[in-house]
Amino acid sequence: MIVVIAVTKIIVEMIKRFRSWLANYRHFLLSWYTKDSQATQEPEKSLVELPSELREKLVNRVQNLPDHPTEKEAIVSALNENFTRWCDNPNNTNNSIVILSSPVATASRILTKTLQQWSEEKQIKIELLEITARPTNIETIKSKLEHYIQPKALEDDSEKEELEILVIPNLSWCFLRSLEGLAGIEYVQSLLCDGSKNRFWIIGAGQVGWQYLNLICNIEAYCGRVLTLPKIESEQLQEWFEPIIEEFDIVFDDPSFEQKFLDKDKDNKTKYFDRLAGISQGVSIIAIQIFLGSIGYKKIDDNEDKDDTNESSQPESKQPIAKMPSLPGLPPLEPDDQFILYSLILHGDLTISALAESLGDEQSEVQARVQILRRQGVIEQKDKVLKINPIHYPALKQELANNNFIIHRE
């Protein structure tokens, strides 16, 4: 009997160890899988099946969703706490708060909107940095910052000056990974600890750019608190999409066999949003793209039509259906592509000239690779600004981390 118990214990322990090994080495196993996938899926492929009018309406509706309340709440709560602390004891060790977001999220927009509401509620005037994009001439970043942010009076004279809350919506616009491109950050660092008691800083930044600045100039040491926007959970995503689901009367497809088996108690909708939250890593912009990619009409086979009654089959064929969400495969990437994509993730957005400068390469060389990546759907271009397609970000992050790039793994 004792032997049986001991053997059972050993087996249980072995299973536990195997599971933990699998968890630890899944990156290795997955990296192999992701390298091998050849097919590139278009993010909105399934929407082609919808009538164009309905498709347009759905895309418009989804893209005009209000910012997710979780992100707003996190910003406001951290702001209240840190601002009050600073008001009670103003000094240059707690005079700033940094809000970090995913490199593919438009944190500057969320931050600006949230801060407008916050300042109205608190009756406090905020100064928004008037740089809304990275200057074309990188050498002018510092002079522009000097123009818009001037040093405050030192501690002795500070009582005469008015309180100022300065907002840098996107720190990425204040630097470029190049020899001349870091002067702006040096200037901001010098102001953050200049001894003034009358200026509170609110800074928005991308996680990867922040990680880079931390490694090269230890920027976190100059800032009071760093808040990373929380991940949006499954239920929160469900609530957020609910008005659209109701408006378009979307039904949820049956999940795969293993998901049916694993989560027996959950309905299709809950399973859908669990998976959506997981693969989007709780980032709203990625979740939106995946959601759009998963909606289509269910195809009804002729045989099925014959078998079913007309009453049951006809309405189903007209109803939008959400398939289990999935991420598209990443196309095979050359080492040069990895450098380009990492640079875009690091800076959030870049023009082609800034991208070439950040890589230290000729613009013509970079342009050729960018064209290929755009065709593959990995890079998006709006006006002259290049960005990573958010739907590819989770896989790309994994790929770059596997290849020794400095990027935080999930």
Partner 1 sequence: MNMTTYLLAQSATNAAQETAEQTKELVSKITTGKVAQGIFILLTAYLIIKILDRVVIWLSEKIAKEWRLRVKQFLPFLRMLVLTTTIVVLMNLFLNLSKENILAVTGTVAVALGFAFKDYASSIIAGIVGIFESPYGVGDRVKIGEHYGEVISYGLRSISIQTPDDNIITIPHNKMWTEAISNANTGALEAQVVTKFYFAHDVDISLVKKILYRVAQTSKYTALKLPIVVVMAEKPWGTMFKLKCYPLDARDEFVYQTDLITRAKIAFAKHQLVYPAISAIEQE
Q: Toward partner 1, which CB reaches closer, 342 or 393? A: 342
By CB under 8 A, the residues from 329 to 358 that bind partner 1 are 335, 339, 342-343, 358
Q: Toward partner 1, which CB reaches closer, 181 or 328? A: 181
The least CB distance from residue 176 to partner 1, in Å, is: 9
Alpha-carbon span 170 to 173, nearest angstrom: 6
The binder of partner 1 chosen from 17, 315, 406, 410 (CB under 8 A): 406
For residue 249, is it left (φ>0), alpha (ψ between -120 and 50) or beta?
left
Phi (first) and psi of residue 322, to 5 degrees: -100, 115
Residue found by looking up tokens 């998976």 in the block: 275
Which three-class secondary structure state does DSSP give residue 167?
strand
The number of residues that bind partner 1 (CB under 8 A) is 27
The strands making up 126-128's β-sheet, listed across from edge to edge, are: 126-128, 164-168, 199-206, 96-101, 225-228
179 is an interface residue for partner 1 by CB under 8 A: yes
Binding-site string for partner 1 from residue 213 to residue 232, where x marks contact by CB under 8 A and - marks none = --xx----------------
Q: Toward partner 1, which CB reaches closer, 30 or 126? A: 30
The least CB distance from residue 62 to partner 1, in Å, is: 34
Q: Cα dist. 161→197, 198, 261 in Å?
A: 9, 7, 66
Alpha-carbon span 392 to 379, nearest angstrom: 9
294 is an interface residue for partner 1 by CB under 8 A: no
Cβ(167)–Cβ(111) below 8 Å: yes
Cβ(318)–Cβ(297) below 8 Å: yes
212 is an interface residue for partner 1 by CB under 8 A: yes
78 is an interface residue for partner 1 by CB under 8 A: no
Alpha-carbon span 184 to 191, nearest angstrom: 11
The binder of partner 1 chosen from 8, 91, 256, 403 (CB under 8 A): 403
Q: Toward partner 1, which CB reaches closer, 157 or 186? A: 186
By CB under 8 A, the residues from 116 to 155 that bind partner 1 are none
The least CB distance from residue 201 to partner 1, in Å, is: 24
Which residues are CB-neighbours of 101 under 8 A, at least 6 positions away?
A: 71, 107, 110, 204, 205, 206, 207, 228, 229
Binding-site string for partner 1 from residue 358 to residue 387, where x marks contact by CB under 8 A and - marks none = xxx---------------------------
11 is an interface residue for partner 1 by CB under 8 A: no
Residue 193 is classified by DSSP as: T
Alpha-carbon span 4 to 108, nearest angstrom: 61
Write the single-letter amino acid at 238. Q
Q: Toward partner 1, which CB reaches closer, 246 or 362? A: 362
By CB under 8 A, the residues from 16 to 45 that bind partner 1 are 27-28, 31-32, 35-36
Q: Toward partner 1, which CB reaches closer, 134 or 199? A: 134
Binding site for partner 1 (CB under 8 A): 27-28, 31-32, 35-36, 177-179, 181-182, 212, 215-216, 335, 339, 342-343, 358-360, 399, 402-406
